[in-house]
Amino acid sequence: MCTTKRFLTAIFAILLASQPLSAQQSSSKLKSKVQDEIARYYEQSIGVSIAEPGIVTLKGSVKSYWDKLNLWAIVSKVPSVHQIKNDIVVDTQAVPDNIITSEIRHYLDLNKAIEDPKKIEITADNGLVFLRGEVNSIRESEIVEDIAAWHKGVKSIENELRVLPPKAAMSDANLATILRDMIKRDFPLEKKSIQIEVMNGVAKITGTVERLWVVKQVEKEVRRIQGITGVDNQLKIQVIS
């Protein structure tokens, strides 16, 4: 009896000891995957750490705010990444705020995808750019932010642009059909695991996917649809051992 108890106690101790080791091995593998993915696009060293399973912290410096956003996008495509803490510093050359705003304004005026650039207000404070005013779609808001992000001197962006409601309202059923067709077309690998419902213009997204990028990209595409007034994104990330 004593021998059996000692045997069971030893087995239990081994199981307990193996759990944190397994978590460490999993985090180490994820760290390597993230580093390899970053190395495909960036030569400079970007610090990667994983304090908790699935939670990745990025540290280092890049030359533009666009690169900081791009690093987030790259890492979000790695399976098993649940959350990203982007502590990347934008080490851009100093540019007077009035030059930053005038250059952004110039390129907004040239871009034909922006219907009425005059409705967009641009201000800057020591490299922090504020975008305010009105645009006609989520897509237009994203274009404005992308244009601002790659300019020298821009360290961060606060996008406070307001999207005007569509001129013609669509029924929830029509919107749901449009969204489901979009999922089938743009996310063929995930189409069976993503469900969408629409109520009073608000899209509810549920299901389980493998990558954080899909969670964010699906919401991004849903928000682009004219008639969608809000998104309740309940997508979860599948844990891959």
Q: How many CB atoms lie within 10 A of CB 86?
A: 13
- Domains along the chain with CATH numbers: 2-90 (3.30.1340.30), 97-163 (3.30.300.130), 172-237 (3.30.1340.30)
The answer, yes or no, to whether residue 110 has pLDDT greater than 90, is: yes
pLDDT given for residue 170 in this prediction: 78
| Whether pLDDT at 77 is above 50 | yes
State the average pLDDT over residues 99-116: 94
Answer whether residue 101 shows pLDDT above 90. Answer: yes
| Average model confidence (pLDDT) across the chain | 88
For the chain, give me the number of helices (H) and strands (E)? 6, 11
Measured CA to CA, the distance from residue 80 to residue 26 in angstroms comes to 10
Parallel, antiparallel, or unpaired for β 194-199 and 162-163? unpaired
Region 15-26 average pLDDT: 58
Total-model pTM: 0.74
Per-residue pLDDT at 119: 94
pLDDT number for residue 91: 94
Task: Check: CB of residue 121 under 8 Å from CB of residue 29.
Answer: no
Of the listed ranges 9-13, 170-174, 203-207, 231-235, the least confidently predicted one is: 9-13
Q: Give the integer Cα–Cα distance in Å for 118 and 135.
A: 10
pLDDT for 168 equals 62
Residue with tokens 């307001």: 162
Which candidate, 182, 180, 226, places its Cα nearest to that of 201? 226
For 120-173, write each residue's pLDDT tens digit: 999 999 999 999 999 887 788 889 999 999 999 999 999 999 887 766 667 899
Query: pLDDT digits over 214-241, tens only?
Result: 999 999 999 888 888 889 999 999 876 5
Angle between helices 212-224 and 172-186 (to 10 degrees): 140
Give dist(CA 218, CA 209) in Å, integer: 11
Under DSSP, the state recorded for 117 is G
